[in-house]
Amino acid sequence: MTGPTRISSVEQPEPFQVTFEGPTGPYRLSFQPDHDEGRFDVVIGDLAVVWKVEVCERTTTGWSLGGMTHGMKGLWGDDYWFEVLFGEDTRAEFGLRGLTRTDFPPA
């Protein structure tokens, strides 16, 4: 697990990268701290987008990073609220009106 860094008034994790398995195949999230709450550089096949982190919180086992996906309507049918839980139980959760799906790193 990564330690904290402070670029802004919000404590953020150090940069990290994680790959998940989603409905359209694997995708990579690369977290970058910034002057706000951080961002994810996202690569899904040939698609590269940025998801802005709007909520960055430390948990008892790591980090919870949430925000809205951007640029996913063509591939996933819509944009979703996301929450990436990074630490002991790494996973990505997506929802519109409640939990829609949970993705995990490949086994």
Alpha-carbon span 30 to 17, nearest angstrom: 4
Q: What is the pLDDT of residues 7-27, one digit of tens each?
A: 556 789 999 999 999 888 999
**Does residue 92 register a pLDDT over 60?**
yes
Mean pLDDT of 53-78: 93
What is the structure's pLDDT at 98? Answer: 63
- What confidence score (pLDDT) does residue 2 get? 54
The residues spanned by each domain of the chain are 4-103
The answer to whether the CB of 17 falls within 8 A of the CB of 32 is no
pLDDT tens digit sequence for 22-55 = 888 999 999 999 999 999 999 999 999 999 999 9
